[in-house]
């Protein structure tokens, strides 16, 4: 499981490294509202990923992580519709969040399928 956690952490870092420079392209009026919300969401995803890796009971943390990832996807969709990010940027960023979501889903399934001791 530690390998999966490491892969997830790496994907989250990759997504953040892509996303942070894109936030600088937002209009000045949005840098302290929508861009800040996206930044906060990405930071929460990073924190929850680290927390999930370190905790013994992971299910609630993974559920919170899944919720944050869904919020981020919605923020990105709104940003694209308001034309704050290009179609290409939206596509790449969304692809990264979908991949993270699939990994989270896989971890949730693997934990839910464990026999209780």
SS3 for the chain is CHHHHHHHHHHHHHHHHHHHHHHCCCCHHHCCCHHHHHHHHHHHHHHHHHHHHHCCCCHHHHHHHHHHHHHHHHHHHHHHHCCCCCHHHHHHHHHHHHHHHHHHHHHHHHHHCCCCC
Nearest-angstrom CA–CA distance, 79 and 36: 12
pLDDT tens digits, residue range 22-80? 999 999 988 889 999 999 999 999 999 999 988 888 889 999 999 999 999 999 999 99
């Amino acid at each position: 499981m530690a390998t999966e956690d490491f892969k997830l952490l790496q994907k989250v870092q990759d997504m953040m490294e892509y996303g942070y420079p894109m936030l600088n392209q937002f209009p000045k009026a949005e840098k302290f509202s929508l861009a800040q919300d996206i930044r906060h969401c990405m930071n929460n995803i990073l924190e929850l990923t680290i927390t999930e890796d370190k905790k013994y009971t992971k299910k609630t943390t993974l559920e919170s992580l899944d919720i944050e990832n869904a919020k981020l996807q919605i923020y990105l969709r709104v940003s694209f519709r308001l034309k704050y990010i290009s179609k290409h940027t939206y596509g790449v960023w969304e692809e990264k969040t979908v991949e993270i979501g699939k990994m989270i889903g896989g971890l949730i399934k693997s934990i839910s399928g464990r026999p209780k001791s």
